[in-house]
Amino acid sequence: MFYLITSQDVALLSLAPGQVETEKYCTILIHYEKGVPPTSEELAKKLESKKETVQAEALEELILLMINGESYPKLLMTIIRFVVTSRDHRVKKLLQIYWEIVEKTKDTGDLKEEMILVCNALRNDLMHANEYVCGSTLRLLCKMKYYRILEPLKEAVLRNLAHRHSYVRRNAVMCVFSIVKSFGVEVLPEAPEDIEQLLLVEGDLSTKRNAFLMLVNCDQERAIKYVLSLQDQVSSMGDIFQLAVLELVRKVCRSTSVNKGRFLRIVFDLAASSSTAVSYECASSLVTLSSSPVAIHQAAQAYVQLLTEQSDNNVKLIVLDRLRDVQKHHKQVMEGMVMDIFRALSCPSLDVRKKVANSAVCRPQRFCRWTLGVKPIATYQELHRCVLNFPSAAMAPTTISAPGRFLSLPKSVASVGVDAWNKKAQLAQMLKTLDGSCKARTVSEVMQEVRGFFTLGHLLYAYAYLRMLHYKDPNLYYAALWTDPAFLLPIVYTPTVGEACQKFGMLPFFPRGCYVSISDCGKIKEVLAEYAECMLPKDSNGNYECQCIVFSDAGRILGLGDLGCWGMGIPIGKLDLYTVCAGFNPYKTIPVIIDAGCTDASGNSAKLTIRDHDLYTGLKQDRMKHEGESGALVNTAYYGACSLIEEFMTAATELFSEKCLLQFEDFNTNDAFPLLEAYRNKFLSYNDDIQGTAAVVVSAILGGIRLQKPGNKELIRELRKRKVVFHGAGSANLGSANLLRNEAGVPKESIVVTNSKGVIWKSESGNEGNFKNFEQKDVASIGQPSGYDHTSLLGILKHHKPDILIGAVGQAPNCFNKEVVETMVQIQKEKPGGGGRPIIFALSNPMSQAEITAEDCYNFSDGEAIFGSGTRFPPVTYKKRQRVPGQVNNFFIFPGMSFGAYWCEAERIPDKWFMVAAAVVAQTLDDKDLEAESVLPHPSRIQQVAHNVAVKVAMTAQRDGLAKQPLGDDIAMVSAALKARRWSPRRVAEGYGQGCNDNCTIS
């Protein structure tokens, strides 16, 4: 018997970047027990056995005998007849070893005829359902050097480039490369194009790297084009792929200066990588390819970071040699880094300390005598004593050269925020746990992880997981959102984002978002430029590319109140919806927080101590306010000659052009309306809380009317007959009331709005009333209410008898109690014709603040109410019928509104367009939505809805003469133009969701 240790005969990538090799098969003979080998007849008898275990043992014995010099040519046909058809995986594995070592040619050198039969077996294995069989067969073919065997298998090999399993795709790439390398690209002329297509959608990093290396070797021009198309995304693609890109960059830049600037930009971006190998290779590449002081400084900085952060002494020694080489030719660049290099004196390795001390970079004669006034030897001794006594301080970075790389806070607070966060052991452990759990390489793996958190009820952890995924692999993150928006959007945005904002400082810092503080007044343009330099791409003219900015001062986050800088989760989540729903390029957007201070615990619904929290990194001061023209308190920093908002919006348009869309988000109502009025015609801007919410509310009402009267197509006319009570006088309800009155044509007397004092009223002169600002005054009823309790919601309903009740109070959860709902039902029964159904919306976010739950609304109304909510409630089964409550969420409006307005380069966005958008959304309801009694389309069709809105907005803008860039003469042309401008993730492992396809229609 033989005892053997055999290496797997696998195709591997060599350690040298840019090269692909095949590891040769290796066998070590350990012991040979029997002296007389079996005959061909004896082995044939075993191979012909119907027992697969016997066949496997015989095949293994045959392989070992052949490896040790025995010859059994007659058994080839026996194996083809009796063994090849086996489905046993062990037999399959042994067969592949046998195919490699068996003699394949005659004495004349011609291929044996039997090998053609082997080709059929190999083809079947290439199409095998088991990925291991398929992948290992491809691995075997990598070592086949007989074109007659490979030729009939080419189609099957190429088909495996699209296999569902990454193991198979990885080996398919290797097999294709092996064929092309051995026989020339002529035998597989379609291979480079197929590999390029694979690169665009591949999710597995190793497969992607293999495919890219093959493209580099077979079609360098195509590889260059591919890399340049991903210029802004290479930094998120994993270290082994980045190393392959760097190898190509060096190879190309040494031979030609074409596109050298763009390639160097890639190297600059990668220099900040957390990977030691990538950072080192970037530094080496910059030194080799450029003599620019900026490039040399970046390279030296990367070397210094490796020196101070890496624990491997060999790395430190190598880096010190590289720094010495840099110093020889670029002394001035190195002068400012001496103290950083001195920190390496805390290293326990004597060799490292000696090299630091003897390094030409750090010889401190001139530095010590002129700067410190002491002798060099004393300086060395003092420095060495300090770094040994305080190693953590010595090894800590003194500055953050690129704040956008690490976190999204201004330099003035960045190090303090990170340092405070890192001192919390449980938070640091959470970061490690998140990083460890975020290993997904495909969409299905992401969905599996998130569903696991969801099943356990850990929605906030799912949110943190997705933020980590966005940091590590933005394309995969957006691909996942694309695949199932209905499931994931409630995690990345409402309702989960509400809790995320309340705890934002206790979540890991990631490089997303720009903070503009009142302390930046006079230099806001510099702040935006600093962020843009780190985070935005540039066009061919060197200008920053920014399509849109969502900015908030977090003065009123959902229904949660003032959360200050912790409100950054809102503009981040909003822009994710811009990308997923409409198609904005996420790399060309900026979420912004305007930091004007933060109210104490009394300013938020949960009474959280945010401003004084030790992890709060914003301005720890109250908001400066004064009494505005309407008598309400407004933020002083936003008005007057030194308006922070005007400086910000002006700076943004100067940096990113006038077509950049600027969206107000979650400003306190007292500021939201006057700011919108002040800037809506100066910039391409709107307030989603006022206008977007108004549009989706009107759309939901129209959807409710469709449920009430399925055959009626005159929805606007029906709407004008309805009476509406708005409970709550925030920006959402005020905007909705104005849109109904000004654009839908609903009579003013049919609209009643309440505030904390009851029905909002004013005298005929307008000098008296219980309104709190101009906006409430504008919707106020004429004359002081009398004859009923106008401070009680129940009294208001019984007196005004509305058809529609809309709650957006924000801080009065469950205020629509059973008596309120029953009253709404009774009102409809008492109206002429009777039997009508009331429309009841609970719009406050998050779920904890909702005026009523879906289940209670259906139960209290005996199934009569038509319900919608700001937060997505689960389906409710009532009287054996399942109802899916419509989510009255702005994401049906703002993505399409913004996308259409941006690409037609609208001069402004008038209120009329929001009424147009509302009608489009209502028209998008399909039979399934109506059957489920949903007032709005299902979120799974959000991309279709957004596209329909964008098309209609662009058409309306052109018709109104407000479009600087017409997109077409008819709906079909505009639709096609907008589809062509949609951004989509380039790397999608297992396909997109429905997305925006040819079924998107406008009526």
Q: Write the pLDDT tens digit of every residue in 624-638.
A: 999 888 788 999 999
Query: 965-995, pLDDT tens digit by residue?
Result: 999 999 999 999 999 999 988 533 333 333 3
> What average pLDDT does the structure give for the chain?
83
Give the pLDDT score at 996. 40
Burial 185-220 (b: 16+ CB within 10 A, else e): eeebeebbebbbebbebbbbbbbbbbbbbbbbbbbe
Give the pLDDT score at 419. 53
Amino acid 64 reads L
More confident residue, 262 or 541: 541
Give the pLDDT score at 859. 94
The strand pairing partners of 28, in sequence order, are: 5
By DSSP bridging, strand 11-13 and strand 20-22 are antiparallel
Please report, rounded to a whole number, the percentage of residues in the chain having pLDDT higher than 90.
Answer: 39
CB-CB contact of 153 with 186 (8 Å): no
Query: Is residue 695 predicted with pLDDT exceeding 60?
Result: yes
Catalytic entry in 92, 355, 574, 659: 574
Give the pLDDT score at 548. 97
Q: Grade residue 882 by pLDDT with cuts at 50, 70 and 90.
A: very high
Give the pLDDT score at 550. 98
Q: What long-range pairs does 631-639 form, CB within 8 A, spacing at least 24?
A: 631/772, 631/773, 632/670, 632/772, 632/773, 633/670, 634/670, 634/671, 634/674, 635/553, 635/555, 635/596, 635/668, 635/671, 637/518, 637/521, 637/596, 638/596, 638/671, 638/675, 639/674
CB-CB contact of 800 with 844 (8 Å): no
Structure tokens at 644: 């922070």
Give the pLDDT score at 341. 77
**Spatial distance between the Cα atoms of 184 and 189, rounded to a whole number of angstroms:** 9
More confident residue, 960 or 125: 960
| Residue 634 DSSP SS3 | strand
**Spatial distance between the Cα atoms of 435 and 510, rounded to a whole number of angstroms:** 12
| pTM for the predicted model, two decimal places | 0.60
**Spatial distance between the Cα atoms of 239 and 258, rounded to a whole number of angstroms:** 25
Give the pLDDT score at 271. 80
Q: Grade residue 128 by pLDDT with cuts at 50, 70 and 90.
A: confident
Nearest residue to 629 (alpha-carbon basis) of 639, 619, 642: 639
Mean pLDDT across the stretch 898-909? 97
Catalytic entry in 465, 478, 493, 639: 493
Residue 336, phi then psi, degrees to nearest 5: -80, 0
**Spatial distance between the Cα atoms of 948 and 926, rounded to a whole number of angstroms:** 14
Query: Is residue 952 predicted with pLDDT exceeding 70?
Result: yes
Cα distances from 642 to residues 141, 445, 654, in angstroms, run 72, 51, 17
More confident residue, 762 or 128: 762
Query: 709 an active-site residue?
Result: no
Mean pLDDT across the stretch 796-801? 94
Give the pLDDT score at 426. 64
More confident residue, 198 or 350: 198
Domain ranges of the chain: 405-683, 690-888, 892-961+970-980
By DSSP bridging, strand 781-782 and strand 761-762 are parallel
- Of 133-147, 222-236, 709-723, the least confident: 222-236
CB-CB contact of 481 with 492 (8 Å): yes
Give the pLDDT score at 423. 58
Mean pLDDT across the stretch 392-420? 38
- Of 110-114, 120-124, 321-325, the least confident: 110-114
Mean pLDDT across the stretch 9-17? 33
Amino acid 512 reads R
Query: Is residue 669 predicted with pLDDT exceeding 70?
Result: yes
Q: What is the DSSP letter of 625?
A: E
More confident residue, 685 or 614: 685
**Spatial distance between the Cα atoms of 572 and 566, rounded to a whole number of angstroms:** 11
HEC readout, 132-165: HHHHHHHHHHCCCCCHHHHHHHHHHHHHHHHCCC
Give the pLDDT score at 401. 29
- Of 271-285, 529-543, 746-760, the least confident: 271-285
Give the pLDDT score at 335. 62
Contacts of residue 257, Cβ cutoff 8 Å, sequence gap at least 6: none
CB-CB contact of 466 with 487 (8 Å): no
Nearest residue to 272 (alpha-carbon basis) of 438, 401, 421: 401
Residue with tokens 């700011």: 675
CB-CB contact of 850 with 844 (8 Å): yes
Contacts of residue 390, Cβ cutoff 8 Å, sequence gap at least 6: none
Residue 991, phi then psi, degrees to nearest 5: 95, 160
- Of 123-127, 141-145, 385-389, the least confident: 385-389
Q: Grade residue 52 by pLDDT with cuts at 50, 70 and 90.
A: confident
Query: 599-611, pLDDT tens digit by residue?
Result: 999 998 889 989 9
Number of Cβ within a 10 Å radius of residue 835:
8
Query: Is residue 575 predicted with pLDDT exceeding 60?
Result: yes
CB-CB contact of 902 with 685 (8 Å): no
CB-CB contact of 106 with 148 (8 Å): no
CATH number among 3.20.20.70, 3.40.50.720, 3.30.479.10, 3.40.50.20, domain 690-888 = 3.40.50.720
Q: Grade residue 813 by pLDDT with cuts at 50, 70 and 90.
A: confident
**Spatial distance between the Cα atoms of 838 and 857, rounded to a whole number of angstroms:** 11
Structure tokens at 79: 């194996």
Query: 574 an active-site residue?
Result: yes
Residue with tokens 């979420």: 591
CATH number among 1.10.760.10, 3.40.50.10380, 2.60.40.2890, 2.60.40.10, domain 405-683 = 3.40.50.10380
Query: Is residue 838 predicted with pLDDT exceeding 80?
Result: yes
By DSSP bridging, strand 724-727 and strand 804-807 are parallel
